[in-house]
Amino acid sequence: MLLEELNDITIVINSIKVKKTSAYIFSNDLKIKLKASTIEQFDLKVGMELTPDTIEQMKKYELKVDALHYLKSIISKKPYTEIQLISKCSKKIKNAQIAKEALDELKKQKIIGDSDYIQSYVDYFNDHNFGKYYILDYLAAQGIEKDKINEIEFDESFEIEKAWNYFGSIKNKYIGTNFAKQKKKIYDSMLRRGFGMQIINDVISNLEINEEDENTKLLKAYKKAKAKYEEKFQGYKLRNKIVAKLITQGYTYEKIVDVIGEESEDNYVD
């Protein structure tokens, strides 16, 4: 039987058998499996009497060993916050108090801690061109204490460098839309990425417009809108419907009139 299965009994150790990581103690007709380290931790010997209180302490010790092993195994794969570690470990060993004690022990050993978690994720997000506001919001959502988050330092020139890198990776993504929509989509994408509005505006201001291409897109959008509305509307009602539609697509009134102005005056008479 397992040590954890012993409840409210006193036993006397008749013999002990130790293997590499596990051990057995024998008491009359009982064969009890436990961890080899438990033998040393409690200095177990033949003839020793184990009371329910001692057995309970041995159970807690072995549960803590399991908790330590589990925590070390999961942090070797990816970083977690202290809150996440306690939550995962509590579910694993089904004892929140011992999970916390195990975590505290690893913190004292400087094996884990939120500082390591923070640095790991700051490095990751910086390497993948995320802005500081995304990083701050992410860490706050993971339960990191506000004081620790406030200690993070961001270099403004590096934020600009990341913004340019990210801009370079997405600037052609929306090339099929008109210039106004392209700027709006890039702006929204960079904002979601965590960059400040000033940096975004500075970057986007360098976006160059291709007038010939823009006019072609506007004419295409105009013809599409006209085909949609001309069966229901005529004259200036039709013209106003088309203009309103094109404005919602990001074109300015002046640009619309400039590109389709000739047709506007000649073909929309009530």
* Alpha carbons 1 and 199: distance in angstroms, whole number: 66
> Residue 171's pLDDT is what?
82
Structure tokens at 172: 């052609």
> Residue 52's pLDDT is what?
94
- How many angstroms separate the first and last alpha carbons of the chain? 96
Structure tokens at 257: 């009139």
Residues making up the chain, counted from first to last = 270
Q: Which residues pair with 243 in a beta bridge?
A: none
> Three-state SS for 51?
coil
Q: Which residues contact 33 (CB under 8 A, 6 or more apart)?
A: 1, 2, 3, 22, 23, 24
Phi, psi of 235 (to 5 degrees): 60, -140
pLDDT per residue over 17-52, tens digit each? Answer: 998 889 999 998 899 999 999 999 999 999 999 999
> Residue 180's pLDDT is what?
77
For the chain, the structural domain boundaries read: 3-78, 156-204, 212-267
In this structure, which amino acid lies at residue 129? N
CATH architecture for residues 156-204:
Orthogonal Bundle (1.10)
CATH architecture for residues 3-78:
Beta Barrel (2.40)
* Alpha carbons 50 and 41: distance in angstroms, whole number: 14
How open is the CA angle 6-104-64, to the nearest 5 degrees?
15
* Alpha carbons 124 and 132: distance in angstroms, whole number: 12
Write out the chain's pLDDT in tens, 270 residues.
Answer: 888 888 889 999 999 999 888 999 999 889 999 999 999 999 999 999 999 999 999 999 999 999 999 998 888 777 788 888 999 999 999 999 999 999 998 888 766 667 777 887 888 899 999 999 999 999 888 888 888 889 899 999 999 999 999 998 988 887 767 777 788 889 999 999 999 999 999 998 877 665 666 677 778 878 888 888 888 888 878 888 888 888 887 777 777 877 776 555 445 544
Please report, for residues 88, 99, 101, 105, the alpha-carbon distance to residue 71 in angstroms, rounded to integers and kept in the order given. 9, 9, 12, 11
- Its sign, for the CA torsion 150, 156, 157, 158, is positive
* Alpha carbons 191 and 197: distance in angstroms, whole number: 7
Structure tokens at 258: 């400039």
**Average pLDDT score over the chain:** 86
Of the CA atoms within 13 Å of residue 33, those in its CB half-sphere come to 6
